[in-house]
Structure formats: C-alpha cells, structure tokens
C-alpha cells in the first residue's frame, strides 16, 4: 500500500502489537462516546478511525472486535439550551437516571441520544460491540478493578500529583481528607455530590457524605452505584478489555491529560499496557466554528446522512489521516465535494486512481461484510439539486428532466437516481437559503427584451435555433458555451481567451435575467432542461 494509506499502516502496527501481547486473543480496537447530548460529526471521528482500522484487520482475515463504550454512567452536567430548566434537578445523576427530553420515546436521557447515533452507524456500515458503562458498573463487572484502584490509591495519587494544579477537591478524586479514585452516587438523591471521608481496605467499608445532607457507610465489594474517576476509569477499561488500538482527541494528549495519565497508571495498578493509537484532529463544518456538543444546533451524523450518501461521508473520514483536520460541507461546497467523489469513482472504474485514493474509495464503498448501498445512476449532485430546486420537488417534472439528461441512455424511473436524489432534495429544502432558491419567470421581461442590442438579440436567436437539436445535458452545455464563440466568429474548439470568457459571462447573465430574474442561478444546461424548450423560447422572446 502507498505510504499515504494511513489505514493500512495502522493495521500493520496493530496486528504486530497484538501478536506481541497475546497472539491467541482477538484484536481489540475501542471507541468511547458520551450520550450527554447530540453526538456530533466531530465525535464521529472517535468511531470512524478505529472502525476503518478494525475493518482493514478483518479484511485480512484476523479476528478483530471494535468495542464502543457508551459512557452512559457519567454524570449529567448541565441542562442544554432548549430543554426545560426544571431538568437542573437531575444534574449530578447518571445519564441513564435522567428522564429523556419531553416527548421522547426513549426511557432515559442517555438512550435518547444514543439511538440516532446507533442508527447512523448502522447506515454507515460500522460494525461494533456496544458496551454500556451503566450496565458494567451496576452489574459488578468492574468490582475487582474498583477495589484494586482503591487499594492502590496512593500510587495513583502520586501520578496525578505530578499534574494537579490546585489543592482540595479535584475531578480526579482528590479531597482534603485524602485521595479516593471512586465516587459513589448518593442512595438518597442519586447524585454524585458526594465526598468519600473514609475507607477500610480490609472490610472495604466506604463512608461518604453527600451535599444533600445524606451520609452513609457502604461495603464497596458489594456497592454498585458509583464509578471510578475518569483518569482511572479509562486505563482500567484498557486493561479489562485488552484494548490494543484506541485513538484520542487532541484534548486528551496534552501533559496531564487523560491519555497521558492513564498510560502511567495502567501498568502499575491494573497490570496492563496502554493502547497504541493516533491523536485525531477536529472536524469542522463549512461556515461554523469548532464543534462542541454543549452548543445547540451542532450537526450530527444523522444530519449529514440526510444530505449525503453514506459512502461519501465515510470517504471524508477515510481519505484524511487522523491528525489532519477537515471540513464537512453543508453549504454549496457539498456540490463541489460530490464532483470530487464522482471524479474519483470514474478513476477507480478506469483503474487510473492512485493506490491511496483507490484504497480510500474502497473503504468508503464497502466493508469487510460487503458493499454499502449506492445509487444506480449517479446523476451529478449539483444537477439533481438544481432539478429539485427548479421543479419545487415535483417528481413528474423531475423525471421528465432526468430522462432528457442523456437521451442515449434514458433514465426510466427516479428510483434509479436514489438515494442521491433524496439527499439532494433534503439539501435544497433544509440548507439552501431562501434567497438562493430559483423562481422561473412566468412571463417574459418585456422591458429587458426591448432594450437589447443587435448582438444580444442574435445570441438569443442562435440559442433558440439550437435547442431541439441539442436537447440533452451535454448538447445544451456545448450550445450555451458555443453561442458567444459563433458571435465572435471563433471555431467551436477554440481555447478560451479573456475576450471569449467575458462574452460568455455576459451571455449567461443575460439568460439568467430573462429566465429567473437574477444574475446567477443553477447551471444553465440544467435550467434549460427544467424549463422546457417552448417556455425558454417564450422567455427569451424568440
């Protein structure tokens, strides 16, 4: 594989590392997501990076599992915008103990936000084994590890002390009475407003006080309502699950961060080794700042899949190395993105793509289990968007236009253009600003027509005369670019000159004004097909 094929290179490293550790165990790749709110497209990189590597390992015939930990036993931190302020009474409870937003069909807050992400991952072909941290902690699966962490609390505290920036209470479990890496949820108020005030290693009796006024002594060996501090919890899971590969965001790789501290805790405390894995960079959205789930209106994978096909979204994550930031387009740039994708697909079909590009395309369109659904007749996205725009979604009109795109291979049903057509329709309806929507004129602009000069009238005559003979997308493209050439006395195959480009721009602007009353609009060949030859002739006064 090419050096730029990052997935293949990481697969090589992971396979070699797994053989070194234990050649008889399945290879474990891991991700973690917190369903504390909408899971956005930046979070998706946390899943797609190990998915692509795990899938490559499976393609090579190795037994590989991709674990996805749902951090649904984390505390509810704050009430997001748009949620009833009364939900503040649940701050501090596990996410699975918080009621779902009003009107939700799901049993709790965590399940409400897990569901759309799980559906998106299924559509993306991501194969994983889900792990609920609520289930793991409350079932007692981690009890031995919790007790181990408590018995090694001084060793853990020594590691954390190197990075701790303040005395007293800290998120890592440090309190004035000593360091304890475990925090119980209060049995009275269900919140984690608790402080551990004592612990007996022999009996495992743990004493805590809660901000609600409740105090209690529990036997930790039997206690199920609490969890390890995050910087201890993560390395505990690495050891428990035997994780070989897990990427981490840039915020987890600075000095004193979770990944760094976890790497120093896992061996001495839990007897394991930290995973290998890259730091991954942020994912942006066209026209938006860095994504954060604490802000409202952040696009999710479900939002992206409503306007683009799954292989295209997979490709965006596969073609860039994890440490490279990239942007996902929800604006007009999505049309250029689809043009790039279609051009790559054509190169792959003709075996002219580079090895790395072909590999990224292959990972986007299929997994080890098989191919993802694709559009049978992939009409250019910008063309479909224009058709939806001009026809206001009328399917009979849309079918008439797509049939005329290539008369030599007419499309018999709109189903042949799906799901891409549906994605383009969703983009027009949800993302295209109202001022950019196309409104075809009902009647000719008589004032503009009366003001035209002889050359402009001749250009319109030449266009009208050539419509029937060139009534296809390629034919009309040649026609609209060719009319200014004929007026200038130039051959059809002439190379563009500044004078010719200026003449073409002026001609196009004239047509847009006559047809839609604006300087610009959808690509003219598509617009002409959408309007129909007779109406075009009417609007241009010929």
Q: pLDDT per residue over 70-109, tens digit each?
A: 999 999 999 988 899 999 999 999 999 999 999 999 999 9
Average pLDDT of 479-499?
94
CA distance to 43, 78, 190, 225, per residue, from 75 (Å): 18, 9, 10, 12
Asked if pLDDT for residue 254 goes beyond 60, the answer is yes
**The token pair that represents 488 in the structure block:** 């200038």
What's the half-sphere exposure (Cβ side, CA atoms, 13 Å) at 131? 19
Measured CA distances, 276 to 6, 52, 255, 267, 454 (Å): 14, 15, 17, 14, 72
Give percent of the chain above pLDDT 70. 94
65-69, 248-252, 455-459, 474-478, range with the lowest pLDDT? 248-252
What distance in Å separates the CA atoms of residue 205 and residue 382, rounded to the nearest whole number?
Answer: 66
pLDDT of residue 287: 56
Q: Which helix (H) or strand (E) holds 208?
A: strand 205-210
Q: What is the pLDDT of residue 168?
A: 38
> What confidence tens digit (pLDDT) does each residue in 393-447 have?
899 999 999 999 988 899 999 999 999 999 999 999 999 888 889 999 999 999 9
pLDDT of residue 540: 97
CB 311 within 8 Å of CB 317: no
Res. 511: pLDDT tops 50? yes
Q: How confident is residue 294, by pLDDT bands cut at 50, 70 and 90?
A: very low
Sign of CA dihedral 286, 292, 298, 303: positive
pLDDT tens-digit series, residues 161-193 = 988 764 433 455 655 568 999 999 999 999 999
What is the sign, positive or negative, of the torsion defined by CA atoms of 398, 402, 404, 410?
A: negative
Judge if the upstream peptide bond of residue 393 is cis by omega within 30 degrees of 0.
no
Q: How far is CA 325 from CA 47, 281, 420, in A?
A: 16, 5, 26
pLDDT score recorded for residue 2: 43
**pLDDT tens digit string along 1-48?**
344 699 999 999 999 999 999 999 999 999 999 999 999 999 999 999
| pLDDT at residue 175 in the model | 58
Q: Please choose, from the candidates 251, 57, 237, 22, the residue with its C-alpha nearest in 3D space to the C-alpha of residue 137.
A: 237
Mean pLDDT of 50-69: 98
pLDDT of 466 higher than 50: yes
Q: Averaged over 339-343, what is the pLDDT? A: 98
Q: What is the mean pLDDT of residues 270-283?
A: 94
pLDDT greater than 50 at residue 497: yes
Give the per-residue pLDDT at 170: 47
Helix 355-365 and helix 41-59, axial crossing angle in degrees, nearest 10: 100
What is the pLDDT at residue 291?
53
Q: 335 near 382, Cβ under 8 Å?
A: yes
Average pLDDT of span 131-156: 98
Q: What is the pLDDT of residues 315-335, one digit of tens each?
A: 999 999 999 999 999 999 999
Mean pLDDT of the residues in the chain: 93
Q: What is the pLDDT of residue 250?
A: 78
Does the pLDDT at position 370 exceed 90?
yes
């Amino acid at each position: 594989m090419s050096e730029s094929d990052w997935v293949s290179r990481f697969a090589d490293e992971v396979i070699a590392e797994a053989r070194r550790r234990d050649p008889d165990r399945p290879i474990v790749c891991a991700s973690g997501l917190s369903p504390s709110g909408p899971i956005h497209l930046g979070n998706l990189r946390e899943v797609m990076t190990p998915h692509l590597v795990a899938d490559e390992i499976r393609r090579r015939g190795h037994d590989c599992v991709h674990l996805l930990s749902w951090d649904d036993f984390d505390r509810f931190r704050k009430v997001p915008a748009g949620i009833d302020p009364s939900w503040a009474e649940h701050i501090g409870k596990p996410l699975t103990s918080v009621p779902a937003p009003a009107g939700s069909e799901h049993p709790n807050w965590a399940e409400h936000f897990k569901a759309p992400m799980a559906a998106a991952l299924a559509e993306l072909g991501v194969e994983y084994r889900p792990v609920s941290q609520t289930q793991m902690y409350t079932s007692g699966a981690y009890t031995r590890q919790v007790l181990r962490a408590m018995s090694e609390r001084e060793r853990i505290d020594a590691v954390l002390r190197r990075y701790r920036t303040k005395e007293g209470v800290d998120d890592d479990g440090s309190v004035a009475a000593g360091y304890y890496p475990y925090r119980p949820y209060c049995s009275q108020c269900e919140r984690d407003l608790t402080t551990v005030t004592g612990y007996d290693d022999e009996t495992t009796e743990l004493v805590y006080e809660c901000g609600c006024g409740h105090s209690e002594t529990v036997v930790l060996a039997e206690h199920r309502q609490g969890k390890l501090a995050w910087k201890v919890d993560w390395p505990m899971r690495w050891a428990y699950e035997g994780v070989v590969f897990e990427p981490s965001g840039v915020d987890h790789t600075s000095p004193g961060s979770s990944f760094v501290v976890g790497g120093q805790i896992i061996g001495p405390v839990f007897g394991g080794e930290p995973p290998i894995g890259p730091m991954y960079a942020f994912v942006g959205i066209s026209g938006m700042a860095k994504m954060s789930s604490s802000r409202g209106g952040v696009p999710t994978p479900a939002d992206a899949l409503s306007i683009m096909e799954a292989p295209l979204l997979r490709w965006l994550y596969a073609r860039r190395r994890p440490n490279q930031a990239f942007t996902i387009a929800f604006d007009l740039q999505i049309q250029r993105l689809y043009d790039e994708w279609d051009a790559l697909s054509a190169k792959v079909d003709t075996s002219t793509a580079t090895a790395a590009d072909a590999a990224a395309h292959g990972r986007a369109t299929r997994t080890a289990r098989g191919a993802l659904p694709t559009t049978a007749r992939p009409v250019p996205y910008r063309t479909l968007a224009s058709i939806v725009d001009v026809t206001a979604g009328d399917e009979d009109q849309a079918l008439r236009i797509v049939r005329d795109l290539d008369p030599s291979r007419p499309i018999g049903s709109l189903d042949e253009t799906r799901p891409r057509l549906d994605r383009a329709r969703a983009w027009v309806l949800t993302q295209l600003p109202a001022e950019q929507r196309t409104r075809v004129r009902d009647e000719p602009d008589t004032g503009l027509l009366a003001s035209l000069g002889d050359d402009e009238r001749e250009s319109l005559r030449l266009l009208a005369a050539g419509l029937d003979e060139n009534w296809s997308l390629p034919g009309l493209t040649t026609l609209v670019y060719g009319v200014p050439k004929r007026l200038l006395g130039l051959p059809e195959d002439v190379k563009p000159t500044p004078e010719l480009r200026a003449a073409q721009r002026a001609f196009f602007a004239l047509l847009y004004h006559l047809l839609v009353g604006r300087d610009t609009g959808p690509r003219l060949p598509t617009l002409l097909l959408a309007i129909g030859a007779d109406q075009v002739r009417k609007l241009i006064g010929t």
